A = this chain, B = another copy of it.
């Protein structure tokens, strides 16, 4: 049994890690920490978990966490993971970071977008970007994995087949890639704010951080890894639901594939990847992924306008956070990739 600990267990990603790991046959939960709810029992913070966790939330002690755990999940606001990760690694634990600190490889970019000096730049080289459909083999050997943001997960899975195929053909998207994403409110975390107050969010749709969201440079970086130099414009929107991201991604080409070719390309790309489902008909909807680690994809080609539109749906707390983190953990410890995650979505 792997000993797993969670730093930041009182937030939504933390709760989701406990929910999923409590059913994982190869894991036992060791230490759960929370800075603001120390001393409370996990089931007080999450009444849903009554019967699934006897843990009391404690303050994080990096040394102790590292020694007591085979793997430590960090579910923290940015700036905090880079403080704790070095100690955990030194103490011999592997680290799966759900936060932003190790996603961007370039410290200057990190400084620019997060307005912070990176305190563990040496680790950036070791950090593997935890998108298994992109980096499965490298993740297997990693000791520090930086899981993608929820929006970049959706956008990257939607566009990976196209960008890789263009790159292989020595060409690229024309103009700007547009990612227009719609997210449920849980993506904003568990802290009560005016922007997540029920009466302000319910029966409402709005755009926010248009072109200035921190997930935009992360997408740009991944699209670069996939071989595209096209600029990305990212428009996040908040919709009145709890879970789910739908990303509608637009790319203009000089010469588009046919709809049939595109369909085949997307399907072939994800053969052997259990958690990406390329739909053979219909368009993705977030509800068909709720509570599960699946990302559902569809692609549409407009031959006249030379436009490819790729749509991704996922549950931001599972494939966009806790589920993907566990998928990475499975790879890091040579377990089956689906272990503990193979559950059908809850519908309706």
Residues of chain A whose beta carbon lies under 8 Å from any beta carbon of chain B: 12, 15, 18-19, 22-23, 44, 46-52, 174-176, 178, 180, 182, 184-186, 190, 192-194, 196-208, 210-211, 231, 233, 235, 237, 239-244, 246, 248, 250, 252, 274, 277, 279, 281-292, 294, 296, 300, 302, 304-307, 309, 311, 313, 342-348
Contacts and interface: CB of A to CB of B under 8 A. Distances in A.
A291 B346 contact: yes
A237 B211 CA distance: 20
Interface core residue of A185, A201, A240, A288 (most chain B CB under 10 Å): A240
Given A50-B277, A198-B201, A207-B246, A186 B241 contact: no
Contact of A242 (B250, B291, B348): B348
Contacts of A243: 203, 348
Given A207-B248, A210-B283, A211-B309, 12 more contacts: A15-B347, A47-B279, A192-B194, A203-B244, A204-B244, A204-B286, A205-B244, A205-B313, A207-B246, A211-B300, A233-B309, A243-B348
Contacts of A248: 180, 207, 235, 237
A202 B244 CA distance: 12
A198 B233 contact: no
Given A203-B290, A231-B305, A210 B311 contact: yes
B242 A198 contact: yes
A347 B240 contact: no
Given A196-B199, A300-B211, A176 B282 contact: no
A197 B198 contact: yes
Instruction: Kindly name the residue among A52, A202, A274 whose own CB sees the greatest number of chain B CB atoms within 10 A.
Output: A202
Nearest to A343: B23
22 contacts: A23-B343, A46-B288, A47-B279, A47-B282, A48-B347, A50-B288, A186-B348, A190-B194, A190-B199, A192-B193, A197-B197, A197-B198, A199-B348, A202-B242, A204-B286, A205-B286, A206-B313, A207-B246, A207-B248, A210-B300, A233-B302, A250-B250
A266 to B, nearest CB: 14
A252 B309 contact: no
B206 A285 contact: yes
A286 B199 CA distance: 13
Nearest to A348: B199
B344 A48 contact: yes
Contacts of A305: 176, 211, 231, 233
Nearest first, the 7 closest Cβ-Cβ pairs linking A and B are A206-B285, A48-B347, A204-B287, A48-B345, A199-B348, A47-B288, A192-B192
A74 B6 CA distance: 43
A202 B202 contact: yes
Contacts of A343: 23, 343
A237 to B, nearest CB: 7
Contacts of A348: 12, 186, 199-200, 202-203, 242-243
A305 B307 CA distance: 18
A171 B112 CA distance: 35
A203 B252 CA distance: 31
A186 B346 CA distance: 13
B347 A19 contact: yes
